[in-house]
Amino acid sequence: MYPITYITDCFDGNARARLSTRIGALFGQSPTIVAADGPDPESFAALTLLDCLLSTDALGEDGHPTVILVNIAPRDGVWPNGVPFCFFFSGKHLVASTFNAGVLSLVRRELGIDTVYVTDIRAAVTAAGFAADEVDKIAGTQFRSLWYLPLLAKWVVDGRDVPAIATAVPEVADDEPTVAVVDNFGNCKLDRNLDLDFGGTLPVARRNEDGSTTVVEVTCYPHLTAVPRNAPGLVPGSSGNGFTELVIRGGSAAAEFGLRPGDLLLEPVAARVA
């Protein structure tokens, strides 16, 4: 039995029911389904995937292998029926995912996973011995993350040969710190560690209701409890490898600064130079 986590932007009740049932039929247990439901599902999935893999460290024992499925498909029309699916291992933990450079960017940067195994649905399902009509159904469906991705994960877990091509994970531009996740407290989790100078400040761009932007100098602190009550602060956070968070102790930084996942945190470089 493998603990299964499924991060997906297909998360309505109907989709959850079908995903849970199909994966339960394959693995003997249903997954934990995590909804990538914000304005920037790629950033959310990238940080959440990294956090899931990092959470398996420092257990004090060997621990069990896990399976993480990720479905965040770019709707860019580049691929005939959507982006292909890939798989890779981080230690003994299997990740099966859409081949999405943004989603894979943080495991590439932080864990050194620069190569994954990309599959072709039709070739993989044919090699698994499915009948021709079933191959057509699985390869041609709109809901490939239901019909194919769980199969791919199960085949890899079972040690079956899956036709796949080792493929480099493309690098993505990440020059500016970006809000990846806003947690339930309103803390803005960034996609990196800013190497904070405690006691110093950084210029954070606050989005105002009228569409204007105000630059706020926010002080850097070593931890959340060092931030004064009801004041903003930049602190080493709980995600990634100590990735920075913008917080307001006792309040919501996201609400105060008008930030959502996908937003740049700092004042743009060009403006700072000017």
pLDDT by residue, tens only, the chain of 274 residues: 789 999 999 999 999 999 999 999 999 999 999 999 889 999 999 999 999 999 999 999 999 999 999 999 765 555 566 789 999 999 999 999 999 999 999 999 999 999 999 999 999 999 999 999 999 999 999 999 999 999 999 999 999 999 999 999 999 887 789 999 999 999 999 999 998 999 999 999 999 988 888 999 999 999 999 999 999 999 999 999 999 999 999 999 999 999 999 999 885 543 433 3
Q: Report the alpha-carbon distance of residue 187 to residue 252 in Å, rounded.
A: 6
| Domain topology for 4-168 | Rossmann fold (3.40.50)
All residues at 6 or more sequence positions from 64 whose CB lies less than 8 Å from its CB, including other chains: 2, 3
| Those residues with Cβ within 8 angstroms of residue 262's Cβ, 6 or more apart along the chain or in another chain | 38, 39, 40, 43, 178, 179
In the chain, residues under CATH classification 3.40.50.10790 are 4-168
Q: Is domain 179-273 given the CATH code 3.40.190.10 in the classification?
A: no
Instruction: Name the token pair of 253.
Output: 């930084």
Residues of the chain with CATH 2.40.30.90: 179-273
Residue 111 contacts residue 91 (beta carbons within 8 Å): no
